[in-house]
Chain A
Amino acid sequence: MTSTAARPAPAPAARPAPRPRRRGPRLTPYALLVPAVAVLAAGLGYPLFWQVVTSLQEFGLAQQFGQPPTFVGLDNYARIFTDDRLWAVVVRSIVFCLVNAFLTVGTGVLLALLMKAVHPVVRVVLQVGLLLAWAMPMVAAVTVWKWLFDWRTGVVNWLLVQLGFDSYAGHAWLAQPLSFFFVATVIIVWMSVPFVALSVYAALTQVSDEVLEAARIDGAGPSRILWHITLPLVRPVLSIVLLLQIIWDLRVFAQIKLLQDGGAPVSETNLLGNFIYETGIGRQDFAGAAAVSIFVLALTVLLSWPYVRSLLKEDAR
Chain B
Amino acid sequence: MSERLCPRDEADVVEAVRWAVSNARTLDVAGSGSKAPLGRHIQTDATLELKGLSGVTLYEPEELVLSAKAGTSVAEIEGLVAASKQMLAFEPMDFGPLLGVAPGGGTLGGLIACNLAGPRRPSAGAARDHALGVRAVSGRAEAFKAGGRVVKNVTGYDLPRGLSGSYGTLAAFTELTIKVLPRPETVETLLVLGLDDAAAAGVMSAAVGSYYDVSGAAHAPAELAARIPAVAGAGVAVTALRLEGVKPSIVHRRGKLEAMLRAHGTLSFLDADASRAFWQGVRDVEPFAFPVGGALDTAPAIWRVSVAPMAGPAVGAALREIGARCLYDWAGGLVWVEVPGTEPHSARVRAAVAGAGGGHATLIRASAAARAREEVFQPLDPITGALIARMKNGFDPGRVLSPGRMYAGV
Is B one of A's binding partners? no
Residues of B within 8 A of A (CB): none
